Amino acid sequence: CRKKEEGKKNDLLRQEAAIIYNLNSAVKRKQGIPTMLWSGTDTNYPSINFMAMDVLGPNLEDLLKIVGGIFSLKTVLMIADNTISLLEYLHENHYIHRDIKPENFLMGMGDLSHIVYMVDYGLTMRYRDSNTLAHIKFREDRAVTGTARYLSLNGHYGIEQSRRDDLESLGYMFIYLLTGTLPWKKLTENNDQKDKVRKIAQKKLKTPIESFCRGIPEEFSIFLNYVI
């Protein structure tokens, strides 16, 4: 798998490569973090950053479409076990992902086809100092960051994201995988980005969690109520 970034205005790909390197260099490396094979620039293309990683299988959104739009409870619980563990590992290493969604979880290949991999660290950031463990300061002036369908309420309203926001997004993802929908799913088809984000935020704020968790195990609503 290869990613590239032209122009290198913000060097985001280089930052992502550094994060993946750090995650793979941890003493207790977690399976499910893609291995970076190489990153850097080519002398023939000095204005482009490149990054080469493991070749992985389909993402959860693609698999959802293949099986008809809904996963079984057993499948979602297995996914939940893997993804919560991956987020725990990311958070233990002082990072938050900030773009949790089905497209960013891929299955492995061959003998590793049962392993869920968490990818795309382009929006990932440190939420605490790795030495002092001092948490970043609370702020209310942040830009909206992430995918609107799964974004936390705090993320919608410009509040500095932290670990709980990753978990809230993960909760929305579980419900989507299990039911095939979310109350604000159709709103994501709006072409006006700012209007879309605003309408989704309003819908999330006004919709009781229990209403879109009806018919599925109550543990999913308990999880969301706990992290929001």
CB-based contacts of 198-202 (< 8 A; 24+ apart in sequence): 200/148, 200/149, 200/151, 200/156, 201/153, 201/156, 201/157
Question: CB within 8 A of 138, min separation 6: which ones?
Answer: 159, 160
Rounded Cα distance between 122 and 118, Å, is 12
User: Which residue is catalytic, options 11, 99, 165, 166?
Assistant: 99
- Backbone angles phi and psi of 82, in degrees to 5: -70, -45
User: Which residue(s) pair with 45 in the sheet?
Assistant: 42
- Is 99 designated active site? yes
Catalytic residue ranges = 99
